[in-house]
């Protein structure tokens, strides 16, 4: 039996599946297979040796440079078809709000899907917006540290004066959220923050899979608007690596980045999410110096939003109005 299972799994390797995917298949087999020598298939000594051998033969290759340009996407979000928010298509507004929230909060898509739009789960203040997940939501890691994490993000450039500052203010998440809530109020039937904007589920809560598609679509539309070829394949989860790496490249403390992304240790970022943002600027077409903007309110969320928006490719003086 074990030999047949291993031969099946090796066939999946030949088809291009990763070792992590093989573990999922083995776990599924273990759930329905009878025990072998008194042990479940997954925890059997032979299975452990088999998986260890696969890791040695096919070691994971971490992505060292960004796959897509965060600076390009942020720049295009300041222009059509994403602006002006009052008249842009609701789909573009949904893509923009979801992208800005994901890239500034560094949260998983599942956590974003669990956010609510009613007080006290969403509260607007003059200088920030605070968001909380619904009480019944269970994060990927259920612990005291991960449960009930609050997302607190500041107003970005709250009093813009120049044309460049007004253009950058279009990336203010508080402003975008207010527009989004107003334009979805008429058909909203669910108190989740993000709701479907068309189809039979219009007005009902958007699932994690739907929000993931929105994030990918925001990147694709940004590249299309810039007349650039979009890199493939795109994954919504890549926003966590892009956002955290951009914040770290801007000189923000690793402890604050990990706290905002709900990583209990810096090693998680270093091993799985860190990207060499600086050395990839030329390859991605990121020319110019980072924007030196600091709006610090003493909380990890505001620190993150400053670091990411400070990573725009062009200097502040070169930004233009949508």
SS3 for 1-32 is CHHHHHHHHHHHHHCCCCHHHHHHHHHHHHHH
Q: How many CA atoms lie within 13 A of 96 on its CB side?
A: 30
Return the number of other C-beta atoms located less than 10 Å from residue 139's C-beta. 18
Handedness of CA 190, 193, 198, 200 (dihedral sign): negative
Q: What angle do CA 156, 160, 164 make, to 5 degrees?
A: 95
* Burial classification of residue 119, based on how many CB atoms lie within 10 Å of its CB (0-12 exposed, 13-18 middle, 19 or more buried): exposed
pLDDT at 264: 83
pLDDT at 255: 87
Instruction: Quickly count helices (H) and strands (E) in the chain.
Output: 14, 3
Average pLDDT, the chain: 84
Higher-scoring residue by pLDDT: 161, 285: 161
Higher-scoring residue by pLDDT: 100, 294: 100
CB 68 within 8 A of CB 232: no
pLDDT at 305: 59
* pLDDT tens digits along 112-166: 999 999 999 999 999 899 999 998 888 887 777 677 778 888 888 888 888 888 8
Residue 281 clears pLDDT 80, i.e. is over it: no
Helix axes 90-105, 238-249, angle to 10 degrees: 60
CA-closest candidate to residue 196, choices 181, 186, 184, 212: 184
What is the pTM (predicted TM-score) of this model?
Answer: 0.78
Return the number of other C-beta atoms located less than 10 Å from residue 31's C-beta. 9
d(CA 26, CA 257): 34
* pLDDT tens digits along 227-266: 999 998 899 999 999 988 888 887 788 888 888 888 888 9
The set of residues, in sequence order, having a beta carbon less than 8 Å from that of 59 and lying 6+ positions away, is none
């Amino acid at each position: 039996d074990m030999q047949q299972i291993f031969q099946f799994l090796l066939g999946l390797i030949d088809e291009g599946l990763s070792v992590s995917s093989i573990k999922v298949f083995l776990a599924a087999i273990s759930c329905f297979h009878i025990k072998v020598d008194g042990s479940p298939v997954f925890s059997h000594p032979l299975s452990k040796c088999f998986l260890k051998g696969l890791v040695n033969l096919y070691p994971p290759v971490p992505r060292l440079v960004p796959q897509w340009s965060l600076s390009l996407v942020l720049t295009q979000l300041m222009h059509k078809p994403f602006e002006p928010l009052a008249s842009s298509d609701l789909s573009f507004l949904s893509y923009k709000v979801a992208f800005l929230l994901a890239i500034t909060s560094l949260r998983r898509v599942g956590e974003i899907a669990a956010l609510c739009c009613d007080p006290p789960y969403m509260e607007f203040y003059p200088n920030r917006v605070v968001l909380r997940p619904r009480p019944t939501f269970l994060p990927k890691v259920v612990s005291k540290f991960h449960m009930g994490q609050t997302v607190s993000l500041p107003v970005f450039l709250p009093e813009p004066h120049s044309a460049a500052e007004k253009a950058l203010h279009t990336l203010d998440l508080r402003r975008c959220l207010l527009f989004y809530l107003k334009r979805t109020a008429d058909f909203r039937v669910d108190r989740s923050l993000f709701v479907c904007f068309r189809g039979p589920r219009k007005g009902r809560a958007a699932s994690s899979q739907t929000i993931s598609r929105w994030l990918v679509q925001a990147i694709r539309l940004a590249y299309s608007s810039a007349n650039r070829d979009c890199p493939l394949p795109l994954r919504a989860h890549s926003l966590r690596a892009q956002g955290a790496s951009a914040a770290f490249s801007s000189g923000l403390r690793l402890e604050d980045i990990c706290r905002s992304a709900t990583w209990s240790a810096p090693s998680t970022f270093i091993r799985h999410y860190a990207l060499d943002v600086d050395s990839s600027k030329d390859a991605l077409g990121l020319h110019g110096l980072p924007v030196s903007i600091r709006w610090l309110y003493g909380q990890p969320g505001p620190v993150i939003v400053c670091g990411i928006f400070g990573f725009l490719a062009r200097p502040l003086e070169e930004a233009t109005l949508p």
